């Protein structure tokens, strides 16, 4: 029996309904699939993802007598801060950052703080500001949290400048013993060798030069004295006994050497030593510079023996002493090279006369006589 139009219509409607349901089912399955995969992917992403926390200790610059400020840190995070580090208390990367900021998980220290806490002065120089995780957190970050969070730390730098505001390579501790080695009559054939030794040990000396011995080709030597922190002194022009001279003769002895040194290196001597240590009132009122004498005479000009000079210094010289030697004598230079490391080992600082005066709070004046400092 042929089917009516109505029958045919009903059949096709049923078929399209079935098709619709099928499409819906597929959509639902697809949706569930996407949802599941998405969830898996998302969860695994959180599980495998890690965060990087970067900590930087802020560098500071202070003056020697000022207070040491609280050290600061900059903390930045890259990655997901929601990562859970500890499920039991829902402790996340964000919680860790908070604990770092509050100083629970982080300490910042500098070696100078120990001295500072004991009331000591902080010496001029540069010191590391050390930022580090406290023990408990370091343990966790390096073990159980290792795959979830990485902590990078950059140390800072504490720069301590001296009170007058310029940087000094060497700092003299006024509370530690010091000796001023002084050399007369140069520059001589062994002066450069001596300077190289002083430079090697990073110590200072004072050179009382006589104009008669200063030549064009001594420029390098005298410049080196200045470069390595030594002091330049005037020891007359002709090595005359000043007590036998009148005012204008003394002036001429001083001025000529002053000018010779100035012509070569552009600075004038800051101290003077009269030949033979000979001083009278005319000398005092005429020389125009502090008169530096000595209290330890090595007698190097007489002994001609390096061992003798070394022994003399080691038996006689002590804190605040001014030691007389001659850089024109080979054995004196030899002795000095030998004695420097021994004196350093004994705790002495080897300084210029002016440095020693300053460390002892003495302002030297022109015409004043100085034998030692205590």
Rounded to a whole number of angstroms, the minimum distance from the CB of residue 328 to Zn ion is 9
Q: 242 or 372: whose CB is closer to Zn ion?
A: 242
DSSP code per residue over 266-307:
S---SEE--GGG---HHHHHHS-S-EE--SEE--HHHH--HH
Q: 188 or 290: whose CB is closer to Zn ion?
A: 188
Q: 294 or 348: whose CB is closer to Zn ion?
A: 294
Distance CA 229, CA 248 (A): 32
Contact region for Zn ion (CB under 5 A) — 81-89, 176-184, 195-203, 281-289?
A: 176-184
Name which of residues 243 to 282 contact Zn ion (CB under 5 A): 275
Q: 129 or 272: whose CB is closer to Zn ion?
A: 272
Rounded to a whole number of angstroms, the minimum distance from the CB of residue 239 to Zn ion is 6
Phi, psi of 59 (to 5 degrees): -75, 145
Contact region for Zn ion (CB under 5 A) — 19-27, 97-105, 123-131, 181-189?
A: 181-189
DSSP code per residue over 306-339:
HHHHHHHHHHH--TTEEEEEETTSHHHHHHHHHH
Name which of residues 198 to 237 contact Zn ion (CB under 5 A): none
Distance CA 106, CA 103 (A): 5
Distance CA 58, CA 154 (A): 9
The residues carrying an active-site annotation are 184, 326
Distance CA 70, CA 56 (A): 14
Rounded to a whole number of angstroms, the minimum distance from the CB of residue 279 to Zn ion is 14
Contact region for Zn ion (CB under 5 A) — 8-16, 182-190, 256-264, 312-320?
A: 182-190
For residue 202, give every residue at least 6 positions away whose Cβ sits within 8 Å of its Cβ, in sequence order, or none: 169, 170
Distance CA 330, CA 191 (A): 9
Handedness of CA 308, 314, 316, 318 (dihedral sign): positive
Site string for Zn ion, 347-366 (x = CB under 5 A): --------------------
Neighbours of 58 (CB within 10 A): 15
Looking at 106, 180, 185, 264, which residue binds Zn ion (CB under 5 A)? 185
Considering the rule CB under 5 A, would residue 327 count as an interface residue with Zn ion?
Answer: no
Q: 140 or 312: whose CB is closer to Zn ion?
A: 312
For residue 215, give every residue at least 6 positions away whose Cβ sits within 8 Å of its Cβ, in sequence order, or none: none
Cβ pair 230, 207 in contact under 8 A? yes
Neighbours of 204 (CB within 10 A): 24
Contact region for Zn ion (CB under 5 A) — 135-143, 180-188, 261-269, 338-346?
A: 180-188
Length of the chain: 374
SS3 content of the chain, % helix, strand, coil (to 5): 45, 20, 35
Tell me the residue number closest to Zn ion, measured at CB: 184
Rounded to a whole number of angstroms, the minimum distance from the CB of residue 192 to Zn ion is 19
Rounded to a whole number of angstroms, the minimum distance from the CB of residue 275 to Zn ion is 5
Name which of residues 134 to 173 contact Zn ion (CB under 5 A): none
Q: Total residues contacting Zn ion (rule CB under 5 A)?
A: 3
Rounded to a whole number of angstroms, the minimum distance from the CB of residue 235 to Zn ion is 6
Q: 188 or 229: whose CB is closer to Zn ion?
A: 188
Looking at 97, 122, 140, 184, which residue binds Zn ion (CB under 5 A)? 184
For residue 21, give every residue at least 6 positions away whose Cβ sits within 8 Å of its Cβ, in sequence order, or none: none
Contact region for Zn ion (CB under 5 A) — 37-45, 183-191, 214-222, 354-362?
A: 183-191
Handedness of CA 213, 215, 219, 221 (dihedral sign): negative
Q: 185 or 218: whose CB is closer to Zn ion?
A: 185
Residues that bind Zn ion (CB under 5 A): 184-185, 275
């Amino acid at each position: 029996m042929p089917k009516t139009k109505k029958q045919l219509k009903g059949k096709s409607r049923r078929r399209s309904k079935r098709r619709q349901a099928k499409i819906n089912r597929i959509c639902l399955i697809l949706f569930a699939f996407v949802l599941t995969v998405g969830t898996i992917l998302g969860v695994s992403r959180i599980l495998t993802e890690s965060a990087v926390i970067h900590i930087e200790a802020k560098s500071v610059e202070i003056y020697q007598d000022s207070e040491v400020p609280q050290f600061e840190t900059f903390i930045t995070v890259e990655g997901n801060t929601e990562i859970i580090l500890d499920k039991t208390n829902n402790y996340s990367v964000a919680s860790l950052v908070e604990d770092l900021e509050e100083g629970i998980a982080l300490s910042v220290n500098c070696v100078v703080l120990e001295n500072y806490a004991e009331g000591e002065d902080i010496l001029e120089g540069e010191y590391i500001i050390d930022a580090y995780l406290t023990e408990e957190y370091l343990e966790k970050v390096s073990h159980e949290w290792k795959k979830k969070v990485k902590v990078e730390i950059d140390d800072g730098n504490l720069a301590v400048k001296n009170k007058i505001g310029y940087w000094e390579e060497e700092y003299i501790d006024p509370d530690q013993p010091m000796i001023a080695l002084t050399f007369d009559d140069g520059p001589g054939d062994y002066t450069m060798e001596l300077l190289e030794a002083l430079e090697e040990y990073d110590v200072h000396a004072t050179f009382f030069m006589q104009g008669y011995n200063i030549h064009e080709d001594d420029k390098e030597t005298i410049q080196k004295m200045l470069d390595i922190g030594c002091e330049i002194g005037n020891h007359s022009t002709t090595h005359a006994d000043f007590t036998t001279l009148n005012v204008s003769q003394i002036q001429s002895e001083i001025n000529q050497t002053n000018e010779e040194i100035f012509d070569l290196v552009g600075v004038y001597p800051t101290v003077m030593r009269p030949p033979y240590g000979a001083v009278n009132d005319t000398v005092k009122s005429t020389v125009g510079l502090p008169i530096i004498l000595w209290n330890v005479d090595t007698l190097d000009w007489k002994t001609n023996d390096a061992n003798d000079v070394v022994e003399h210094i080691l038996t006689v010289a002590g804190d605040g002493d001014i030691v007389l030697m001659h850089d024109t004598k080979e054995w004196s230079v030899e002795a000095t090279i030998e004695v420097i490391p021994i004196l350093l080992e004994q705790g002495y600082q080897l300084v210029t006369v002016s440095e020693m005066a300053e460390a002892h709070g003495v302002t030297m004046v022109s015409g004043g006589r100085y034998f030692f400092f205590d």
